[in-house]
Structure 1
Amino acid sequence: MSLPTYAFQRERYWLDAPTVAADATGLGLETLEHPLLGAAVPLAEGGQLFTGRISLETHPWLADHQVWGTVLVPGAALIELAMHAVTHVGQQGIEDIALETPLAVPEGETVHVQVVVGEVQQDGQREFSIHSRMDSDDVDLGWKRHATGLSCAAVDEEPVSEVLSGASWPPPGAAPVDVDELYAGFAGR
């Protein structure tokens, strides 16, 4: 073996260790069974934080939702994030949501997502918001807000349970609708 011609020239013989995702429960978080949200943690001053990471490598189906060449998380996915968060804390669902800014997922980037659900208000509802920031962003630059909203108040019994129980189907006052011409009408418009 000959000596290197340059003093700092060297060959590396060690293998690079693979990145291992930490167990959320070992970090004091609750693990979630959700495709976009990985963990939840109760906040010290009330409410709950839900967090996850999104990229085209981990969620390749997002590449199918492009607007002018930019991959965007569909609005329905943002609503699903909010719905999962509010029902996880015992709320009935979403009463109101305002989508403010599209959530872009650039090629080769990882996006950190947070859904914050506030404390229960006097009327039983909770405010929520959805934020994100790029993995490459400086933490001090802050988070972008994509949606805000209000949950439905929690109730003891779901009103749809009576309809879904099959006791009376179709519901009283329902009229049959012919849908054979529906798609032809849409295509014509």
Structure 2
Amino acid sequence: TYPFQRKTYWLNATTVTGDAAGFGQVVSDHPVLAAALGRADGEGTVLTGRVSLASHPWLADHAVAGMVVVPGTAFVDMAVHAAALVGCAGLGELTHQAPLVVPESGGVALQAVVSAPDDQGRRTVEFYSRPEADITDPTWTLHATAQLDPGQPAPVPVSGVWPPAGAERVELEGFYEGLAAEG
């Protein structure tokens, strides 16, 4: 071809590929779990995302023993989001397995794997991570598991006087220092 004809032979992009929909996933509208994908075998849903200090600078405020750790409440928030996405009423129980440490540079790939419903309609969600730098590494770390409840949450009866009779005030001054001293 003649070099000045101003014709290209490359395919033009037909979709934007910078978002989850461009990758064939569903946008999940969550600040950490940005995309969702139904499993091919129909046995649940996988939510994916990424955590880093660059994308989530507020995490730097949650340092434990010199390491930035994703707080447990973030797992609660992600579990409640997963519950709403798959049609569950809310979170029944959440158990932490291992802390999710955020590196000083780079990020962590995150997956929330939601199971298919059991006979009572309950689902489980498991939160996994691995360093994002090596996608060939098959090692994922389990950080938390949660039970998602299908029905409406039971109302909590409110009655009586607060604080309840016999309650004792507990001073928390020096609490964290005392825990640190005990290891």
Q: What's the CA shift for 1:124?
A: 1.3
Write the distance in 1 (CA, Å) between the matches of 2:61 and 2:37. Answer: 31
Deviation at 1:110, TM superposition (A): 0.9
Is it true that 1:83 corresponds to 2:94 in the alignment? no
Deviations 1:80-125 (A, max 9, x none): 1112112211112122221001000011121111101000001211
Q: What's the counterpart of residue 148 of structure 1?
A: 145
1:36 and 1:88 map into 2 onto residues whose CA distance is 14
Percent identical residues? 38
Separation in 1, partners of 2:79, 2:136: 23
2:161 aligned to 172, 175, 178, which one? 175
- Confirm or deny that 1:41 pairs with 2:37: yes
Q: 2:62 — aligned with what?
A: 65
Q: Aligned equivalents of 2:35 and 2:135: distance in 1?
A: 22
For the pair 1:137 / 2:123, whether they are aligned, the reply is no
Pairing partner for 2:28 from 28, 32, 38: 32
Q: Report the counterpart of residue 55 of structure 1 in structure 2.
A: 52
Cα distance, 1:184–1:122 mapped onto 2, change above 3 Å: closer
When the two structures are superposed, what TM-score results if normalisation uses the length of structure 1? Answer: 0.73
Moved over 2 A (4+): 137-141, 157-160, 173-178, 182-189
Structure 1: stretches of 5+ with no match in the other structure: 1-19, 164-169
Aligned residue identity for 1:69 = G
| DSSP 3-state at the match of 1:141 | coil
Write 1 or 2 for the structure with the bigger share of strand: 2
Q: Who is 1:98 aligned against?
A: 95
Which residue identity is paired with 2:84?
A: T
| Structure 2 counterpart SS, 1:140 | coil
Aligned to 1:3: none
- Which structure 2 segments of 5+ residues have no match? 1-15, 176-183
Check whether the contact 2:90–2:153 (CA below 8 A) recurs between aligned residues: no
- Displacement of 1:177 in angstroms is 3.9
Higher Cα Rg, which structure: 1
Matched, 1:23 2:19: yes
Task: Report the residue type matching 2:142 in the other structure.
Answer: R
State the superposition RMSD in angstroms: 2.6
CA offset at residue 79 of structure 1?
1.7
